[in-house]
Amino acid sequence: MKGISNSFLRTICALIIGLVLVMFPNEAGDYFVITIGVVFLIPALLSIIGYFAMSAEERRRLPIEGIGSLLFGLWLITVSYTHLRAHETGRNLVCRLLLEKKKKKKDKRVNGVIKNM
């Protein structure tokens, strides 16, 4: 039974990775790096929270591994997100700016009533 569940999990992961590669071929590497950053963050946060949840007598040493994983995960996420935004195409940027402009126009209020322009 355990072999079946591992095979099923591998199949699901392979399908997700394949879909991301097909749907977002240019950004797939950055999204994978962000995902790896999140994978580093989760155990790091658990380690640090577990450390502070212990009583003062039980604390033997500072969770250096947890702090290092936290910093590394944050670094991976911020660098990859910045990289995604730096390579945003002009078309995508113009579309995003137009949508923000349209949203601002819809939110114009006159005497407490929203006026569409």
pLDDT for the residue numbered 105: 66
The one-letter code for the residue type at 113 is V
Query: What are the φ/ψ torsions at residue 5 (nearest 5 degrees)?
Result: -70, -35
- Write the DSSP string, 39-106: HHHHHHHHHHHHHHHS-TTT--S--HHHHHHHHHHHHHHHHHHHHHHHT--HHHHHHHHHHHHHHHHH
pLDDT tens for the 117 residues of the chain, in order: 455 667 787 888 788 888 888 887 777 777 788 888 888 898 899 888 988 888 888 888 888 888 998 998 888 888 877 766 666 665 556 666 676 776 666 655 555 555 555
Provide CB contacts within 8 A for 74, sequence distance 6+. 37, 41
pTM, 2 dp: 0.53
